[in-house]
Copies of this chain bind each other. A is one copy, B any other.
Amino acid sequence: MESSFSEITAQLRDKLAEIDDIQAAAAVLGWDMTTYMPPGGSAARGRQLATLARLAHERATDPALGKTLDAAESRFEAEIGTTIAAAADNDDAALLRLVRREYERRIRIPSKFAAEAADHSTRSYGVWATARGENDFAAVQPYLEKTLDLSRRYADFFDTYVHPADVFIDDSDFGLSVELIRPLFAELGAGLKPLVQRIAAQPKPRHEFLHRHYPEAQQIAFGDKIARRLGYDFTRGRQDKTHHPFMTKFSHGDVRITTRVNEQDIGDNTFSVMHEVGHALYEQGVAEKYESTPLNGGTSNGVHESQSRLWENLVGRSRGFWQHSFGDLQAAFPDQLRDVSAEEFYRAINLVEPSLIRTDADEVTYNLHVIIRFELECRLLEGDLAIEDLPAAWHDAYEDALGVRAPSDVDGVLQDVHWYAGFIGGSFQGYALGNIISCQVYETALEENPNITTHVQRGELMPLLHWLQNNIYRHGSKYTTQQLLERVTGSGITLAPYFRYLHEKFGDLYELDNLTGT
C-alpha cells in the first residue's frame, strides 16, 4: 500500500531533524571555538568539525533523501490537488520547495571538488592572515587566482546561470541575480555619491567624547540592558565576547550573540550589540513549528541584514531612541558624558565621513563600499579583471566612489576575509540589500502603526518587535526575499524608501536642501 503524505513527510522530517541536530552540534563547537576553547584545542576541534560537516553532508546528499523527497512531492500534489509551486502559503509545500532547492544544489557538487575547495580555503585563509599583517598582496595572489578558478568551476556545475555570480547569489539571496542587482546598485551609487559630497562639504559635529575611556564591565552591562530593551530573550540566549561579533542559533530556544568591547569607543560595543540583537530577534522569532527543519532560520542574507540594520541604524541611531536611552547611558558613564547632550550624542553617532574600511563605515557611505566589491566580483568572474590587477582596481574604485585612496593593500583589497576563506561571488551584496530592505520594511511598519515612533521615543520597542515578528520573523524561510517583501510591503526590492530615509535624516543633520528623487 502506498504511504500517505503525512507518513512520508514524517520520514522526511526525521531525516531533516538528524541533519539539523548534527549542524546544531557543529554550531555549538564553532561557538565554543571562538568564545572559550583553550588554544590547545584547535587541532582536534578542526577534526571534530570536519567529521560533523561530513556526516551532515552525507545525509543531505543521500539518494534516500532524494527518494523520500520525490515521494513526498508526488503525494502532496495527489492529496492536496495543487502543485507545490502554486501552494505559496502552505507550510508543507514551503518545506518541500526549500528541501528540493538545497538538495539539488548539493548533489551537483562532486565531493572531490568540495574537498579540494575546502582544503584550498583553509590554506588561503592561513596565508591571508599572515599576508595581511605584512601588506603582502603578492603572497595571496596565487591563492586568489586558484580561488577564482575554483569559483568558476563551482558555477559551471550549474548549467542554468546567466552570470556566474548568480550561482553564489542564489546561495545567499535566493531568487536574486546580477541582472536585478546591477542596475539597482548603479542607481544606488548614483544617488549616494552626490549626497556624500554634499555632506563632506558641511561642518562635522563634535564627536571626541565617543572616544573617552569607557571601562569594559560597564559597557557590557549597558549592552545587556539595551539588548533586553530591544526584546532579546536571555532565557533563550546569552551574550559572550569574541574577536568578531556574531549571532549563532542552536535551536529555537538557544540563539546566542557575541560582542567585542573597545574601551576607547563607546560606539563599538553599543552598536554591535544592537546589530547582533537584530539578527537574533529574527531567529528567536521564527515559529517553533519549523524547529528541526531548514525553514527554521531567516530566509536570506539580505533580509537577515535588513533586521540587524533596522535595529542598529533605523532604531539604534535614531534621535527618538536616544531621547529616551541617553539618560541610561549617561547614568552608566557619568564622568565621560557629563558635558554631552542627547542631541550631541545623536549627531556624533551619525557622523558621515568617507573612509577606507567597510565595517567602520557610516550609514551613508556604507553601501558604496559594498557596490565596489560587488562590481569587482562580477568583473573577476566575467574575466574582465585579472587578480593581478585587483589591488589597483580597488584603489581606483575607492577614489572614484568615495574620494579616498588607501595607503596600502592592508586597508584595500586585504581588508575583508570573504574572498580568502571562500568563493569569489555573492559575498557582499546582502549587506547593501539589507540596508535597502530595512527601510522598505520600517517605512511599512510606520505606515501601518504610526505610533511606533512615539513608542521608540519612550523606550518601548515591543510594538515594533511584535509587528516584525508577525510580518517577518515567524515565517522563517517559508518565503523567498522577493515573496516576503511583496507580502509585507506590496513590492519587490526598491530604493525609494531608502533614499527617503537618508534624505530626511541626513538632510536634517547636515542642513541640506533640495534632496529629492533617488
Contacts and interface: CB of A to CB of B under 8 A. Distances in A.
Nearest to A35: B36
Nearest to A236: B40
Interface stretch (A205-213, A246-254, A372-380): A246-254
Shortest beta-carbon contacts, A-B, top 8:
A40-B253, A44-B251, A41-B254, A40-B236, A21-B51, A21-B48, A41-B253, A25-B25
A495 B234 CA distance: 53
Contacts of A254: 37-38, 40-41, 44-45
B292 A43 contact: no
Interface string A10-40: 0000000110011011101100100011111
Given A39-B235, A236-B40, A250-B41, A47 B21 contact: yes
A494 interface: no
A386 interface: no
A496 interface: no
A221 interface: no
Contacts of A237: 38, 40
A42 interface: yes
A51 B236 contact: no
B252 A44 contact: yes
A362 B514 CA distance: 83
Contact of A28 (B18, B32, B233, B291): B32
Interface string A280-307: 0000000000011000000000000000
Contacts of A250: 41, 44-45, 48
A108 interface: no
Nearest to A26: B25
Contacts of A29: 25, 28
Given A25-B29, A48-B25, A236 B38 contact: yes
A297 to B, nearest CB: 14
- Give the copy number: 2
A40 B256 CA distance: 11
B44 A291 contact: yes
A24 B47 CA distance: 10
A253 B51 CA distance: 18
Interface of A: 17-18, 21-22, 24-26, 28-29, 32, 36-45, 47-48, 51-52, 55, 233-238, 240, 250-254, 256, 291-292
Contacts of A256: 38
Interface of A is mostly: helix
A509 B32 CA distance: 47
Contact of A21 (B38, B52, B234, B238): B52
A235 B38 contact: yes
29 contacts: A17-B47, A21-B47, A21-B48, A21-B51, A22-B55, A25-B28, A25-B52, A28-B48, A32-B32, A36-B36, A38-B237, A38-B256, A39-B253, A40-B233, A40-B235, A40-B236, A40-B251, A40-B253, A41-B236, A41-B251, A41-B253, A41-B254, A44-B250, A44-B251, A44-B252, A44-B291, A45-B250, A48-B251, A55-B55
Nearest to A240: B36
A220 to B, nearest CB: 15
Given A21-B52, A44-B253, 15 more contacts: A22-B55, A24-B44, A24-B48, A25-B26, A25-B29, A25-B48, A25-B52, A36-B240, A38-B256, A40-B235, A40-B237, A40-B252, A41-B250, A47-B292, A55-B55
